Amino acid sequence: MRLTDYDIDTRYAAKVVSNEGLTDTDAEDEVCEIVLDVADDGISYKVGQIVGVLVPGPHEFGQPWHHRLYSIADVPAVNEHGHSRITIVVRRCDYVDEYSGERFRGVSSNYLCDRRPGDPVTLTGPFGQPFSVPANRSANLFMIGLGTGIAPFRGLVKRIYEHEKNWQGKVRLLYGARSGLELLYMNDRRDDFSKYYDEETFEAIKALSPRPNWADPIAWDYAIEDRVEEIVALLDDPNTYVYVAGVRQIASMLDQLFSSQFGPLAWDKRKQQLVADGRWVELLY
């Protein structure tokens, strides 16, 4: 679905409750966790959904609004006034114009990262629910995220261990980042996933770049080296769901990784089957 296909006419007024940096000051990327209260009754959010943010203009080409999407990064809560409270995780984006070479600031991500408590934000959605908690508690979940792709999985893991309870399936989180400083919710600043390390069914596997200051690719193969058999068994199990989230490059990184394990043709066939069975779901941007 294209961004222009999303409904932006139904809007909700929200207010920033908090805006906290998630990456270390030395990290190359700046990522903010923004908690929002939505002042509207009768709207409920679910873990795994996406919300839109409308940045008021004027913008380039006379557009009155700039619309961008963000994953809900926590189990939605209710505030003291009975209104929805949601969390989003936003990476501050810059981009270089290929023609002029000029560097531009991403409109929505900079707007959001600069918002302070009490500031208003206009929301659209919620849209879709690409990732949901399987009804069967013995289902295995293999979540694979890159950068801000951790956002939907933070909510899912919390839902599984703090709300569903007694989860019996395996929950594996394979998380890639350029450096340890950029591992969101798994760094010195915030280590939210550590509270699930005691859960017998949970394991987080970190994949980093071997040389974070260089443009070296993330060492996915190195990260799963000791676990190849387990991952193959997981993918073979008809009770496993694979959820993938993050910037679009993650899809080709994973194709490369699994092709090297299974062989390119066999991987292509296997992935097609997983997709057809509804057991491989991607959220790419």
Our CB check for ligand FAD shows the closer of 169 and 246 to be 246
As measured in angstroms, the least distance from the Cβ of 233 to ligand FAD is: 30
Does 262 interact with ligand FAD (rule: CB under 6 A)?
no
Is 283 near ligand FAD (CB under 6 A)? yes
Q: Which of 95, 93, 98, 92 is nearest to 34 (CA)?
A: 92
**Which residues are CB-neighbours of 14 under 8 A, at least 6 positions away?**
36, 37, 38, 39, 120, 121, 122, 123
Using rule CB under 6 A, residue 49 touches ligand FAD: no
50 binds ligand FAD, rule: CB under 6 A: yes
Residue with Cβ nearer ligand FAD (3 or 78):
3
Residue of 69, 18, 14 whose CA lies nearest to 38:
14
* CA distance linking residue 144 with residue 175, whole number of Å: 6
- What type of residue sits at position 139? A
Q: Count of CB atoms within 10 A of residue 62's CB?
A: 7
Give the full edge-to-edge strand order of the sheet including 50-56.
65-71, 50-56, 120-127, 12-21, 31-38, 84-91, 77-78
Q: Which residue among 6, 65, 262, 285 contacts ligand FAD (CB under 6 A)? A: 285
69 scored as a contact of ligand FAD (CB under 6 A): yes
DSSP 211: S
Residue 6 as a binder of ligand FAD (CB under 6 A): the answer is no
* Contact (CB, 8 A) for 149 and 250: yes
Structure tokens at 48: 């795994």
- Angle at 162 (CA atoms; ends 160, 164), nearest 5 degrees: 50
Q: Which of 12, 70, 258, 267 forms a contact with ligand FAD (CB under 6 A)? A: 70
178 lies in the binding site for ligand FAD (CB under 6 A): no
Shortest Å, Cβ 147 to ligand FAD:
6
State in angstroms the smallest separation of the CB of 279 from ligand FAD. Answer: 20
Q: Smallest gap, in angstroms, from Cβ of residue 81 to ligand FAD?
A: 26
Binding mask 133-162 for ligand FAD (x = CB under 6 A): --------------xx--x-----------
If binding is defined by CB under 6 A, does position 68 make contact with ligand FAD? yes
* Residues of this chain that bind ligand FAD (CB under 6 A): 50, 66, 68-71, 89-91, 93, 95, 106-110, 147-148, 151, 247, 283, 285
